[in-house]
Amino acid sequence: MSGPAGGTAGPRPGVVRAWLLAIRPRTLPLAVVPVIVGSALAYAEHQRFSIVVLIIAMLVALLLQIGANLHNDAADFARGADDPGQRLGPQRATAEGWLQGETVHRVAMVVFAVAFAAGLSLMTIGGWAILALGVVSVLAGLAYSGGPWPISHTCFGELVVWLFFGLVAVGGTWYLQAGAVPGWSALTAGAIVGLPAAAVLVVNNTRDREQDLANGRRTFPVVFGLGASRVEYAVLLLLPLPLSVWLLVEIGGWWWLPILSAPLAARLLSNFNQYPPGPRLNAVLADTARYGLVVGMLLAGALLGRHWA
C-alpha cells in the first residue's frame, strides 16, 4: 500500500536519487507511527515494553511500505497508468525511464522477502499468529497495485489502508508488546492512527479524479463524486480527535494533548475543500501525511503522559 506525497518535476536525478524517489520517503512515517502507538499503549496499560520488539517491528513495517511503494511504481507503469506527460503528482522513477521496471519489480520482491524474514524473528514472541499477519500484509502490499483487480483502482483503497495502517499494525504491535489479544483500547488506537493514513489516499485520488475517470479506475471520487470525497476527507481528518480524547479519558492519560492537532486539521480541511482536483492538492497531500504523524505522536505522548506526570 502506498500514498504519494507532493512533488514537482525537475531534472533527471542520479541513480541514488531515483531509487529514493521510488521508495517515497515521505510515506514512511505512516508505517512507523502505528508501531510507536501500539508500543506506547502496551506500556501505558500494562507496563510491558521491549525495545527489541519495537526495533524489529519498525523495520518490518518500513520494509513492507518500501516494498509496496516500489511495487506500485513498477506495476502502475506496466499498466500504462503513470504516463509521465500526464501525471499530476510527483514523478515516478519507472515511468520517467530513470529505472527499469523489471529491476524495480525484482527489488520490491527482495524487500518483501527481507521484511518477511525479519518478521520471522517475531514468531518467537507472537507465534503463528504473527506469521499469518506477515503473510497477509505482504499479500496486501502486492494486491494493492498488482493482480487482475488492483485495490488501488477501486473505491476500497481507503478501507484497506485504514485496516492495515491502523487496526492491523497497532493491534499486531500491541499483541507483541503486551502478550495479549488486542482489546477495545488497541482497536480504538488502531482506528485513530489509520484514519489520517486513509485521508492521504483520499487526497491522492481526488487529485487524480479526472485522469482515473478517463482510465477506467473506479476510485471513491470517481464512483461517488467530489462532494462525497470532501465529506469522507472531513470524517477521516476530524474523527481522530474525539476518539483520542475518549480513549484517553477511559484508560487515563493526557486527554488534552491530541487537541493540539485541531488547528492543522482545520487548515487542511479548508485547503482541501478550496482546491479543485489537480496538482494544487499535492501540498495538501504532503501536509495530510504530516498530520498523520502528528496525530500518532500526540496520541503516543498522551498515553505515556500519566507515567511522566
Q: How confident is the model at residue 160 (pLDDT cuts 50, 70, 90)?
A: very high
At 193, which helix (H) or strand (E)?
helix 184-207
What pLDDT does 79 receive?
Answer: 67
Q: What is the pLDDT of residues 218-230, one digit of tens each?
A: 999 999 999 999 9
Question: 5 pLDDT exceeds 50?
Answer: no
Q: Cα separation of 245 and 129, whole Å? A: 31
pTM of structure: 0.88
30 CA to centre of own chain: 4
φ and ψ of 212, to 5 deg: -65, -40
Does 15-308 carry CATH code 1.10.600?
A: yes
* Helix axis angle, 101-120 to 128-145, nearest 10°: 170
Residue ranges per domain, the chain?
A: 15-308
| Burial per residue of 121-149, b for 16 or more beta-carbon CB atoms within 10 angstroms, e otherwise | ebeeebeeebeebbeebbebbbbbbbeee
- Residue 7 is predicted with a pLDDT of 40
The more confidently predicted of residues 201 and 15 is 201
Query: 104-107 contacts: CB < 8 A, separation 24 or more?
Result: 104/22, 104/70, 104/73, 104/74, 105/70, 105/71, 105/74, 105/75, 107/70
Q: Is a pLDDT exceeding 60 seen at residue 23?
A: yes
Read off the pLDDT of residues 68-91 as tens digits, 9 standing for 90 and up.
888 888 887 776 655 555 555 566
Answer yes or no: are the C-beta atoms of 288 and 294 closer than 8 Å. no
CA distance 48 to 276: 47
- Interval 256-281: pLDDT, tens: 999 999 999 999 999 999 988 888 89
